[in-house]
Amino acid sequence: QVRLVESGGGLVQTGGSLRLSCVASGPSFNRYAMAWFRQVPGKEREFVAAIHRGGRDTYYADSVRGRVAITRSDPKKEVYLEMNNLKPEDTAVYYCAADTSIILSSTPSTNSGSYEYWGQGTQITVSA
């Protein structure tokens, strides 16, 4: 069983920055692919970024590429999402997710169904 807890959301002005954190419980964090998704009411959960086991590869949605960075600390069992130049369209609930069954030769999925564990979400609101 893996528990994920996000933090770091809040209200920010357009052009501002935020850093989200997600701490995981459970063994073998270094073997998980981790991702961030976001969701607004009435829409499907949307992929934002993912990072492979060991942090060797990162992946980003086109909508955020160049403005966000996903990193991880395996000793701390944490994953981070640094977000810069935030826009009103970035307003959403942001979720941390873990894929505990990924193998090293695979690519982290952009599909939410591939992730077995989810946090409770943290709200980001970007004011115009």
Amino acid residing at 80: Y
pLDDT tens for 19-73 read 999 999 988 999 999 999 999 999 999 999 999 998 879 999 999 999 999 999 9
What was the pLDDT predicted at 46?
97
**Does 96 score more than 90 pLDDT?**
yes
Alpha-carbon gap, residue 23 to 128, rounded angstroms: 30
**Does 117 score more than 90 pLDDT?**
yes
Both tokens of residue 6?
């996000």
Alpha-carbon gap, residue 124 to 79, rounded angstroms: 17
Burial 55-68 (b: 16+ CB within 10 A, else e): eeeebbbeebeeeb
Contacts of 54 (CB under 8 A, 6+ apart): 30, 74
pLDDT category of residue 106 using cuts at 50, 70 and 90: confident
Alpha-carbon gap, residue 31 to 47, rounded angstroms: 20
